[in-house]
């Protein structure tokens, strides 16, 4: 049946430190964060109950009733949806510990709390999903965080997913700790690795990250890049007033290519974007246009726009079309 919905509402699940939600998308006016299980600490899930509550949402969508929290989300689209009960969009973001200290991270407001926040084990839950046939092999599994490579169960978890033959595993890692499981998944062509470097110079990197790991990260990325089958993206989170220098952006793309990497990602710092969405300075558009239109000049093959950057692009198109 054709109706307005999205991949997350239909078949998504997100594991946070104290809840299970449908997705993590939050920059749209509705704000997202539809919670399905509160006060969650890694218990095995009653999938019949979860899918029952999901069918209530789906039945409303078929009637044209969109959840308030999904209002104006760019993921919404009208199409024929498969309304079987399974999961094929998973975000693993239940951990907040990190070996980096990015100034724009949500944990910056209380680093001591988040770095000592007790993390539950997700491995038994993923095993249960596989054993009960809940998790599709066609799933996109995304690791957020926190830094996933410092999880005690990370290597075993990634190897479990690789052995189950999930072929689209997206891992957001700061690149400080080298992971044999990531290397293996890249060689198999089943992993996409995204590393936010946000700079091309050691001085700026350390200003943003607060760790002296610039050379180590780029060395690790270059080693990962030797695995030719997987996909690696260096990511640039634009932080107005910090790294909004077009020369820094140019040099980031040059350094990406020199490291053997052919793909990039671009985004805008979350809090700044939400506060300034309706009043974006022109120079931000200039940098955005440069990245989005000029990356082939630096022998980069693709540029992925993340949530805020995608919203910026869509907002701009809406404004342009409204003037036509």
DSSP 74: T
Of all residues in the chain, the percent with pLDDT exceeding 90 is 81
Q: What is the structure's pLDDT at 218? A: 98
Q: What is the structure's pLDDT at 93? A: 92
pLDDT bucket at 318, cuts 50 / 70 / 90: confident
Cβ pair 87, 57 in contact under 8 A: no
Residue 103 has pLDDT above 80, yes or no: yes
**Residue appearing with tokens 């700061």:** 174
Q: What is the structure's pLDDT at 324? A: 56
User: CA–CA distance from 142 to each of 14, 90, 161, 323 (Å)?
Assistant: 9, 6, 11, 38
d(CA 68, CA 165): 36
Q: What is the structure's pLDDT at 114? A: 66
Residue 115 has pLDDT above 70, yes or no: no
d(CA 258, CA 16): 36
Q: How would DSSP label each residue in 257-307? A: HHTT--EEEEEE-HHHHHHHTTS--HHHHHHHHHHHHHGGGGT--EEEE-H
Residue 1 has pLDDT above 70, yes or no: yes
pLDDT bucket at 113, cuts 50 / 70 / 90: low
What are the tens digits of pLDDT across the range 241-296?
999 999 999 999 999 999 999 999 999 999 999 899 999 999 999 999 999 999 99
Size (the chain), residues: 324
d(CA 11, CA 69): 17
What are the tens digits of pLDDT across the range 84-98?
999 999 999 998 888
Q: Who has greater pLDDT, 116 or 235?
A: 235
Mean pLDDT of the chain: 93
Q: How would DSSP label each residue in 245-259? A: -HHHHHHHHHHHHHT
Residue 138 has pLDDT above 90, yes or no: yes
Q: Where are the alpha helices (DSSP H) in the chain?
A: 7-11, 47-62, 111-116, 123-131, 154-163, 180-188, 202-209, 214-224, 246-258, 270-276, 282-294, 307-323
Cβ pair 259, 233 in contact under 8 A: no
Q: What is the structure's pLDDT at 62? A: 95
213: nearest Cα among 175, 165, 270: 175
Residue 112 has pLDDT above 90, yes or no: no
Q: Who has greater pLDDT, 27 or 66?
A: 66
Residue 48 has pLDDT above 80, yes or no: yes
Residue 158 has pLDDT above 80, yes or no: yes
Residue 307 has pLDDT above 60, yes or no: yes
DSSP 108: G
What are the tens digits of pLDDT across the range 3-34?
999 999 999 999 998 899 999 888 788 988 89
Which residues are bridge partners to 268 per DSSP? 238
207: nearest Cα among 199, 215, 217: 199
Q: What is the structure's pLDDT at 267? A: 96
d(CA 115, CA 86): 33
Cβ pair 189, 229 in contact under 8 A: yes
pLDDT bucket at 299, cuts 50 / 70 / 90: very high
Domain ranges within the chain, ordered by starting residue: 2-234, 235-324
Structure tokens belonging to residue 324: 């036509």
- Dihedral angle of Cα 307, 313, 319, 324, to the nearest 10 degrees: -140
Residue 123 has pLDDT above 90, yes or no: yes
Cβ pair 267, 260 in contact under 8 A: no
Class of domain 2-234: alpha beta
């Amino acid at each position: 049946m054709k109706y307005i919905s999205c991949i997350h509402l239909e078949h998504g699940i997100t594991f946070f430190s104290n809840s299970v939600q449908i997705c993590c998308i939050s920059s749209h006016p509705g704000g997202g964060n539809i919670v399905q299980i509160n006060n969650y600490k890694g218990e095995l899930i009653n999938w019949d109950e979860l899918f029952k509550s999901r069918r209530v949402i789906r039945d409303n969508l078929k009637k044209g009733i969109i959840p308030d929290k999904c209002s104006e989300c760019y993921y919404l689209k009208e199409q024929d949806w498969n309304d079987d009960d399974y999961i094929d969009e998973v975000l693993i973001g239940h951990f907040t510990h990190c070996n980096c200290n990015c100034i724009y991270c949500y944990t910056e407001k209380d680093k001591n709390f988040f770095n000592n926040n007790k993390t539950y084990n997700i491995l038994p839950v993923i095993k249960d999903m596989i054993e009960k046939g809940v998790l599709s092999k066609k799933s996109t599994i995304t690791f957020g965080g926190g830094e996933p490579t410092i999880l005690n169960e990370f290597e075993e978890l990634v190897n479990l997913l690789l052995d189950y033959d999930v072929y689209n595993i997206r891992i957001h890692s700061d690149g400080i700790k080298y992971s044999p499981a990531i290397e293996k998944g890249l060689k198999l062509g089943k992993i996409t690795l995204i590393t936010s470097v946000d700079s091309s110079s050691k001085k700026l990197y350390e200003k943003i990250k607060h760790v002296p790991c610039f050379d180590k990260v780029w060395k690790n990325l270059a080693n990962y890049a030797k695995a030719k089958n997987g996909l690696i993206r260096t990511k640039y989170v634009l932080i107005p007033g910090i790294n909004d220098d077009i020369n820094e952006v140019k040099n980031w793309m040059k350094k990406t290519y020199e490291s053997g990497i052919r793909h990039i990602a671009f985004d805008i710092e979350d809090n700044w974007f939400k506060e300034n969405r309706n009043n974006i300075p022109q120079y931000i558009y200039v940098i955005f246009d440069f990245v989005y239109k000029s990356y082939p000049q630096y022998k980069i093959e693709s540029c992925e726009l993340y949530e805020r950057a995608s919203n910026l692009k869509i907002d701009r198109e809406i404004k342009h079309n409204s003037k036509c």
